[in-house]
Amino acid sequence: MGLSISDKLCILVFFLTVALAAPAEAAIVSVIIVLLGRRLAPPFRPLAQASGRRFLPVFLSLVLLAFVMTIVNGLLLQEGKVFIVAGLPLYEAGIRFGVKTGSRLLLIATSLLVFFGSVTIPHLASSLHRAGLPTQIVMTVLLTVHFLETIPERITRIFSAQEARGAPVRSRLDRRLKSFLSILSPLILSGIVESIDRGTALELRGYHAGTRLEFEGGGESRLSGIGRLFIVLSLIVIILPWVLP
Amino acid sequence: MGPSVVVTGLTFRYFAASKPVFSSYRVNIPGGSRCAILGPAGAGKTTFLEILSGAAASHYKTAVAEGTVTIGGEQHTPIPLEVLFPRVGLVLQDPSVQISGIRTTVRSEIEFTLENLGMEYKARAGKVANILERFSLTHLANRHPYKLSGGEMQRVALASIVVAEPELLLLDEPANALDARSRKELSELLRLLSPATTIVFTDYTPEFALETADRFILLSNGTTRFEGTRDEFLKALSSLSDLLPTEGMAL
C-alpha cells in the first residue's frame, strides 16, 4: 500500500488533533498505534538508517520526560488521594494531570518523529508546493529543516571542541549538564551566523522574492482522496463534542 | 574579454563611527585577468569581494561608503548597491554554505541557479550538462551535494555560479582546505575561464596564486602594499615576507 505525502500529512494532523483534543487514554492508545505503524506499515518505516537508529533513544528520553512530568505534578498539585511511592507523597490530581500532559507530549513528538523519518524533505517540499504554498514559504520550510538536520552534527563538533579544551563532557551528570550549557551559546551563535551567510549565498545565486522554483518529488497516490476524507471525518468526530453544548 | 575593475577613492566602514576597512583606496584590475588579492587575515580581502559583488551594501545596512567602483565601464557610486549577479558572481569561502541545502543531487543544485534566473527547462538542461562536463562533475551528477569531498564540493559551488556565465568571477579563498591535487584542478579550471571572464580571488598564502594568477595585489590594513604582474611579484616576494607566509614554498 503506497501513501502519498499528503496522506501522511493528514494522518499526522489526525494524531496531533487527538493529542490536543482527545482524552489522555486516547493519546496513550494513539502512541501505541503510531509505534505499531512505524514497525509494521512500510510507508511509515524510517527512510534513512540514521533516523531509524536515533528513534529509540529519542523516544525513551521522551518517555522519561513524561514520567518526570508525572512525578513533579504529583508532588506539586496537592489534591485528591495521596499515594506514598518510595517515600514521596504523590497526589491523585497531580498524577492525572502529569499523565495527561505527558501522554499528549509523547504523542505529538512520536507522530512528528515517525512522519519526518518516513518522508524525504524534497518530497515534502514538492507536496507543500503542489498544495498551493508560495515558493518563499516552501523555501523557508526547507531551509529550516536543513538547519535542524545539521544540529546533531554541530553539537558533536562543539562537544569535541569543548572536550579537547578539557571540559568534563564525559564525567558526572551534573558536570555534563554544566558543560552542555557551555555549548548552547556557540550553537546559537553559529546558527545565526550560518543563517545570515546562507541568505547571502542564496541572494548571490539570484534567489529573490519573485523567484519561481520547481521542487523535486513524486506524484500523488490514488489513496489521497480516501485518506483525506477519513481524516476529515475523524477530526469532526473529535472536535464535535467540544463544540456542541 | 571580461570587464576591467577600477576602484577610486574607496572608503568603507561597517558603522559610521568605526575604523575604516578601506580609506581612499584605489585599484585597477585589467579586463580578462586572473587577479590574486593576497594579504593576512583582517586585511579587508573578503570585504573587497563583497563590495564588488554588491553583497556588502545589500547586507551591511549600517555600512558607510565613499568613492566609485567601475566594472566594465558601468560606474557605481559609491559602491554597487545591490547584488550584481549574474553579471558578477561571488563564490564564498565555505562551499557548504554556498550549496543551497534544498536539492538532493549535484545536477539539480546547479540547475537551482538557472531556475532563479527564470530560465526554461530545455535551456537549463543543456547548460547544466555542459557545465557538469567542463567541471568534471558528470560522474557525480546524481550524488548528494553534501556527500562529496571538500574539493568536489568546491567544484560544485564554483559550477553553481559559473553556470550563470558571470563576466566577473570573484572567489573568496577558493584554495582554502583543498589538497594539492584539488588545488591544481581548480587552478586549471580558472585558467580555462579567463580571459572571457575576469577572475579575482583572495588567499592568504601565495602558493595557489602563483599557480593561477597573472596579476597580484597585496592588501594590508585596507591599503595596497604591492600591485603588479607575476614577474614583478616574484621579484618583490622576499621583501613582502612579513605579510605573506612563504616558508617551504618552491618558487
If you count residue pairs, one on A and one on B, with CB atoms under 8 Å apart, how many are there? Answer: 72
CA distance A82 to chain B (A): 54
Other Cβ atoms within 10 Å of A67 Cβ, number: 13
Instruction: Give me the residue label for grid cell 550584481.
Output: B84
Does B136 touch chain A if contact means CB atoms closer than 8 Å? no
Mutation for testing the B interface, residue in A142, A205, A214, A216 having most B CBs under 10 Å: A205
ipTM of the complex as predicted: 0.84
Does B202 touch chain A if contact means CB atoms closer than 8 Å? no
pTM of the predicted model as reported, rounded to 2 decimal places:
0.75
CB contact under 8 A, A203 and B83: yes
Structural contact between residues B78 and B68, judged by C-beta atoms closer than 8 angstroms: yes
Does B123 touch chain A if contact means CB atoms closer than 8 Å? no
Closest residue to B104, CB basis, from A122, A143, A198: A122
Q: How far apart are CA A126 and CA A121, in angstroms?
A: 9
Closest residue to B59, CB basis, from A121, A200, A214: A200
CB contact under 8 A, A198 and B97: yes
Does B47 touch chain A if contact means CB atoms closer than 8 Å? no
CB contact under 8 A, A198 and B101: yes
Instruction: Categorise residue B195: left if φ over 0, alpha if ψ from -120 to 50, beta otherwise.
Output: alpha
Residues of chain B with pLDDT under 70: 246-251
Q: Given this model, what pLDDT does residue A63 score?
A: 93
Does B188 touch chain A if contact means CB atoms closer than 8 Å? no
Written as nine digits, the cell of B20 is: 575604516
> Which residues in chain A have Cβ-Cβ distances shorter than 8 Å to B117?
206
Rounded mean pLDDT for each run of 10 residues along chain A, 245 residues in total: 75 85 88 91 80 85 92 90 88 92 93 88 76 79 79 80 73 70 79 83 83 63 64 74 72
E strands in B44-87: 64-71, 74-76
Q: Given this model, what pLDDT does residue B210 score?
A: 94
CA distance B53 to chain A (A): 8
Does B102 touch chain A if contact means CB atoms closer than 8 Å? yes
**Residue B210, φ and ψ in degrees, nearest 5:** -70, -30
Tell which residue, A20, A33, A34, A13, has the closest CA to residue A100: A20
Q: How far apart are CA A15 and CA A21, in angstroms?
A: 10
Q: What is the DSSP string of A77-94?
A: S--S-EEEETTEEEEHHH
CB contact under 8 A, A205 and B108: no
Structural contact between residues B182 and B103, judged by C-beta atoms closer than 8 angstroms: no
Question: A47-56 burial by CB neighbour count: b if 16+ within 10 A, else e?
Answer: eeeebeeebe
Give Cα separations from A164 to A48, A158, A173, A180 (angstroms).
31, 10, 19, 15
Q: Given this model, what pLDDT does residue B247 score?
A: 57
CB contact under 8 A, A197 and B92: yes
Does B60 touch chain A if contact means CB atoms closer than 8 Å? no
Instruction: Give me the residue label for grid cell 521542487.
Output: A215
